[in-house]
Amino acid sequence: MKALLSVYDKTGIVEFSKKVSAAGYELISTGGTQRTLSEEGGLNVSQVADVTGSPEILDGRVKTLHPTIYAGLLARRDSPDHMGELKDLNIDTIDLVVVNLYPFVE
């Protein structure tokens, strides 16, 4: 099982992620969240850029907008065709998403 984490407000994210990891989820995260989880929490976290093969762009505004992420989220687990396509493309399912958004205007 995989969990995707990308948060602007990192309050409580380390404690929460430790519980998610202990429940058996592999953690995937965007740059700043990944650094927080790794450095403050000592967690093993894959970067979204490593999963997608694409860097974060536009000052980090575009990170998870990628077919690999969307396919992992949207594939129907009960569809042999969907699951076969993911396997053929070496895409893993993503089972849990944790996000909050940064303020566009402050």
DSSP string, 22-77: HTTPEEEE-HHHHHHHHHTT---EEEHHHHHS---BTTTTBSS-SHHHHHHHH--T
Residue-range domains of the chain with CATH: 2-100 (3.40.50.1380)
* CA angle (86, 92, 93) in 5-degree steps: 95
Give the integer Cα–Cα distance in Å for 75 and 53.
20
pLDDT digits (tens, 9 = 90+) for 24-81: 999 999 889 999 999 999 999 999 989 988 888 887 777 778 889 999 999 999 999 9
Give the integer Cα–Cα distance in Å for 35 and 97.
18
